[in-house]
Amino acid sequence: MLTVVFGAAALMQQPTFRSTTELVRIEVSVTNDLGPVEGLEARDFVLTDSGARQQPTVEELKDTPLDLVAVVQPLESLRMTSKHQAPRIAAGFAAFLDNINERDRLALLLSDAPTVRLRALSYGRPRLDMSAIEGSPYAATLDAITAGLEEFLPTDRRRVLAAFTNAADFRSTVTLDGLGQQARRLGPAFVLFGSPTEVRQSVSVNAVRGAIELARTTAVVSGFVFPKELQLLARRTGGIAIDLGKGDPAQLMTSAFAWMRTRYLLSYVPPPGKGWHALTVRVNRKGATVTTRDGYVVDGLARLHCLLAPNPRRRVTYRAGDV
């Protein structure tokens, strides 16, 4: 079978391959209205890669510890364009920290301009004063997410990049398209916590003839706009976008962590060919929603990311202190 050995130190150097073929490992979440759907087996999945049906091995992982890199937009930058977003993001971020347990590893970056590393990847919940995320009026969130992707270490653990942002970024050198390209490589799922923008504007129309007003009506356009960029990026990586404007942050975060900690790992030998490999995954369960990345790119860089994906054939027991 195919074996690839890839050492942690090689991250800083040219990678050395002892074999030339790799296994693709795709993380898949299956949920229904009640939460994660458990107990699925290989026969329950229909997976295609570049249109060709695959026969993956399937491993179900529950309550797994996480490697998380969290990117938080400075509260001051949120206040620059909205009165309501900073408290929402702060509450969501606090609830996020409450869900970190001793088995998890967490790195924290503030998406200030420039990025500030608040903590390198390390175990347990940090003691963090919320004043640490005040920052400055300008955010460079795309740059910070790019930097965040570099914070992960080679691991068998589930890796998730979590970002708290309103998606307004006027400073980054990395563009949304550029980040989209990075997201096409096999890497961590993005779980993006966004704050919607409230839009409210009245429209008044009247009809006059001469000096006489014959009719008048006023309509109000109002609602909340959730940044579609976050949904697009999350979908591309097999992640999810969560609207912090929709409910209690504690409940939203409990659901998000349940989602992150439960997954299926589908492994298979990919069909040959460089470039974009479109993926589809279905399950034979009524009412189930499958969340996975919409594909991946095969090139030198994608190969590197692919190899860093967890190895399903290796049994791992997790405990605090594992590396």
Partner 1 sequence: MRTLCLAFGVSAGIGLVLSAQLPPARVVEEATKLVEEEARLFGEALADRSKVVMGQLNDAESRAIRQWDLALQGWKKENGVGGGALLSEGVLFDCLSRLHGIVTDVLKSEKAVPYFLDLAAQRPKKASKAFQAALKTDPSLTEARFRDARIRAEKDLDARKELERLSSQTGLIAYLAAMSRAETASRLNDANGAQRWYERATTLLPNAPAPRVGLAALAPGGPIPFDSLDSTDPYYSYPCVVLTDPVRAELSRRSGK
In the complex, the residues that contact partner 1 under the rule CB under 8 A are: 11-12, 79-83, 85, 113-117, 120, 137-138, 140, 143, 146-147, 149-151, 166-168, 170-175, 177-179, 182, 197, 199, 201-210, 214-219, 221, 223, 225, 227-228, 301, 304-305
Cβ-based nearer residue to partner 1, 37 or 302? 302
Note the residue count of the chain.
323
HEC readout, the chain: CCCCCCCHHHHHCCCCCCCCCCCEEEEEEEEECCEECCCCCHHHEEEEECCEEECCEEEEECCCCEEEEEEECCHHHHHCCCCCHHHHHHHHHHHHHHCCCCCCEEEEEECECCCEEEEEEEECCCCCCHHHHCCCCCECHHHHHHHHHCCCCCCCCEEEEEEEECCCCCCCCCCHHHHHHHHHCCCCEEEEEECCEEEEEEEEEEEEECCEEEEEEEEEEEEEECCHHHHHHHHHCCCEEEECCCCCHHHHHHHHHHHHHCEEEEEECCCCCCEEEEEEEEECCCCCEEECCCEEEECHHHHHHHHCCCCCCCCCCCCCCCC
Cβ-based nearer residue to partner 1, 126 or 137? 137
What is the smallest separation between the CB atom of 211 and partner 1, expressed in angstroms?
11
Cβ-based nearer residue to partner 1, 228 or 313? 228
What is the smallest separation between the CB atom of 52 and partner 1, expressed in angstroms?
28
What is the smallest separation between the CB atom of 17 and partner 1, expressed in angstroms?
16
Cβ-based nearer residue to partner 1, 34 or 225? 225
What is the smallest separation between the CB atom of 245 and partner 1, expressed in angstroms?
13
What is the smallest separation between the CB atom of 116 and partner 1, expressed in angstroms?
7
Cβ-based nearer residue to partner 1, 67 or 143? 143
Give the C-alpha separation, 271 to 243, whole Å: 37
Cβ-based nearer residue to partner 1, 197 or 267? 197
**Nearest Cα to Cα of residue 243 among 165, 172, 175:** 165
What is the smallest separation between the CB atom of 197 and partner 1, expressed in angstroms?
5
Tokens of 195: 């704050």
Cβ-based nearer residue to partner 1, 220 or 278? 220
Residue written as token pair 């693709």: 24
Do the beta carbons of residue 132 and residue 118 sit within 8 Å?
yes
Q: How far is CA 155 from the centre of its chain?
A: 17
What is the smallest separation between the CB atom of 143 and partner 1, expressed in angstroms?
5
What is the smallest separation between the CB atom of 217 and partner 1, expressed in angstroms?
5
Cβ-based nearer residue to partner 1, 31 or 172? 172
